[in-house]
């Protein structure tokens, strides 16, 4: 099955989730994520503003602020498929852009350099246990992740973890996958000692 098909099928499957179930499962993931060493020790956490049926991140961001973390949110440039991160200290620094996605308003925020990100929460639709993913099809993270030294984590509902994901040469996997029922060390699954 091709990436496009897998992406579409998974999005359709996730959209069937009842709102209460979705909320409860997201809360379990957030609790688990907040205990991750790279989140507890990291100073600057990069995360996207989610849109249903992605794992909800607004509540996560509020909890990270309570922990004194700096939050970096991406701004996408559709013409070049490039992405820049900006620190937000309030949701009022966001605007809704294409596809109902919330992004930072650059004039209201400070840019965060790649080297300043300690931990990044990488979005995705489908993952395998080795941490390879099928994203939303824009290719923004595929362009951003090379050369990024930050710890790479992903939040996913357990059904988003599948046995097989097509992998391209340039694909960069995440280090740890956190679902509502388990934590997967993708580095271990890949046999990385890093």
Q: In what order do the strands lie in the sheet with 183-185?
A: 110-112, 82-88, 70-77, 44-46, 119-121, 151-155, 176-178, 183-185
CATH of the domain at 65: 3.40.50.10420
Q: Is residue 120 part of a domain?
A: yes
Structural domain for 94, as ranges: 3-185
> How many structural domains does the chain have?
1
Asked if residue 193 is part of any domain, the answer here is no
Position 115 in a domain: yes
In the prediction, which pLDDT does 27 show? 94
Whether 98 maps to a domain, the answer reads yes
Does a structural domain hold residue 194?
A: no
**Rounded to two decimals, what is the model's pTM?**
0.93
- Does residue 130 lie within any of the structural domains? yes
What is the distance between the terminal CA atoms of the chain, rounded to a whole angstrom?
A: 31
Asked whether residue 190 is domain-assigned, the answer is no
Say if 148 falls within a structural domain: yes
Full pLDDT tens readout for the chain, 194 residues: 688 899 999 999 999 999 999 999 999 999 999 999 999 999 999 999 998 888 999 999 999 999 999 999 999 988 888 999 999 999 999 999 877 789 999 999 999 999 999 999 999 999 999 999 998 888 899 899 999 999 999 999 999 999 999 998 888 999 999 999 999 999 999 887 64
Beta-strand pair 102-104/94-96: antiparallel
């Amino acid at each position: 099955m091709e990436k496009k098909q897998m992406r579409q099928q998974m999005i359709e499957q996730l959209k069937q989730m009842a709102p209460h179930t979705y909320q409860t499962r997201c809360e379990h993931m957030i609790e688990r994520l907040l205990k991750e060493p790279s989140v507890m020790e990291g100073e600057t956490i990069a995360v996207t503003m989610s849109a249903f049926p992605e794992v909800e991140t607004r509540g996560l961001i509020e909890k990270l602020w309570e922990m004194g973390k700096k939050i970096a949110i991406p701004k996408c440039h559709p013409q070049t498929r490039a992405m820049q991160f900006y620190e937000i200290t309030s949701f009022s620094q966001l605007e809704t852009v294409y596809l109902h996605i919330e992004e930072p308003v650059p004039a209201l925020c400070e840019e965060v350099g790649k080297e300043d990100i300690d931990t990044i929460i990488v979005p995705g639709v489908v993952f395998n246990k080795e941490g390879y993913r099928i994203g939303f099809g824009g290719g923004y993270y595929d362009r951003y992740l090379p050369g990024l030294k930050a710890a790479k984590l992903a939040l996913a509902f357990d059904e988003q973890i599948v046995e097989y994901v097509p992998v391209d040469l340039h694909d960069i996997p995440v280090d740890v996958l956190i679902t509502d029922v388990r934590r997967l060390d993708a580095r271990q699954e890949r046999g990385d000692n890093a």
